[in-house]
Each structure stands twice: as structure tokens, then as C-alpha cells.
Amino acid sequence: MNLGKKLRRLFVRSELFGARDFARRGRFQGDYQILATGLLGLLDFESVIDVGCATGLLLSELQTAGKTVGGIELSPEVVDYLPTELKGKVQVGDFSDVEGRADLVSCIEMAEHIVPTRSEELVEVLTGTSTRWIYFTAAQPGQSGHGHINCRPMEDWVAWFNARGWELDTERTEGLRTVLGELEKAVWLRGNSVIFGLGSA
């Protein structure tokens, strides 16, 4: 790895999530069950890769539903907090190191934690990893949160996805947001969630 790449990766996030953050993720399990139900009902897919998967709450639900799952998370501390069924299925590394391809690629509330100059790189990775669908959420301007350094209007992200041939699926996005009206804790996902399809998938 050259020096430039090493330096860039020192600043992939404002700060790494740590043990305390991962230990608290369990409180969102019920909301991720709701999210998984919505995705399963709206999208046709057999495999999924979650980029920035944290402790794999979504992956666990989708694996239970019979899907082939994989993920990547930056912080090595996540290994101690992964459920047994996800051991060996979650890669530790920078998002650009994600391996494989899947029908559905998800990236949930991770984009706001990367340095702004890597925003389009993230979109390039997501579009290059998915073969059919992308489920994407990102904090928007004014949304508070731990380590938010890249909050931007959703229109920015939509434009970058569009430039790579991925279109916002407004019908499925609205359908999912309706399902997410049942969320109790991760309520920010309601307004931040979008679904992209390749072309007019």
C-alpha cells in the first residue's frame, strides 16, 4: 500500500466506533426486524452485502430469512460483538476493500462518518458491488449524531448514483418508508431511506 493510501485511510471516519458503541447496538434489534421485513417484501434478492454493517443486525435478520449474507465493518472491535451466525461473514476493513457482489447492497447511516472527499468513492464502491438493488441511508444536514462529518442533502447522493446508471425507485422508497413508520428507536431511518435500482430494475 502506498503512502498516500495509508494516509487516506487514517481519516476514513471522524473516529472509529468502539466497544461501547457496538455494545449499545442491541437496542435497535426490533427496528432492524421491521427494516428487514420491509426489504424482503419490496425487493427480489437472494444475496446481500452490508457496507458498514456494524454488529450485523440487518444481516442476521436476512440470513434467518434464507438469504446469503456478507458485510464489512471498519473497526476491528466489532468481531467481539458479532452474533455466532455471522462469524466469518463480516470482513474487517475500509469500505473500499469490500469483496464479492450481491443482488442487494445496503449502506445504513455510514456515509455521514466518512470524510467528504470520499463520498463519490463510496458511491462507486456500492454501485460496483450490487447487481440489482441498493438500499442507502445517510444523515442529512442538521441531523445530530456521534461522529457526523459528512451530512449532506440526499439530492447530492441521488445525483452521484444517477451518474452511474442507478435510479431512485420512488415507489419502493415510499413503500419502505411507510413500513418504517413502525420504528420505535431508529426513527431517522424513515426520512433517510432510499432504494436505487440499476436502470429501471
Question: What are 84-124's pLDDT values in tens digits?
Answer: 999 999 999 999 999 999 999 999 999 988 999 999 999 99
Question: What are 135-177's pLDDT values in tens digits?
Answer: 999 988 767 666 678 889 999 999 999 999 999 999 999 999 9
Return mean pLDDT, the chain: 88
pTM of the predicted model, to two decimals?
Answer: 0.88
Q: What is the CATH number of the domain that holds 161?
A: 3.40.50.150
Of residues 14 and 174, more confidently modeled: 174
Percent of the chain past pLDDT 90, that is, above it, reads 74
Please report which helix (H) or strand (E) contains residue 184, including its range: none
Q: How far is CA 86 from the centre of its chain?
A: 16
Give residue 171's domain range. Answer: 3-198
The pLDDT of residue 9 = 47
Number of domains in the chain: 1
Own/partner pairs for 60-67, CB < 8 Å, 24+ apart?
60/32, 60/85, 60/86, 61/32, 61/33, 61/35, 61/36, 62/36, 65/36, 65/40
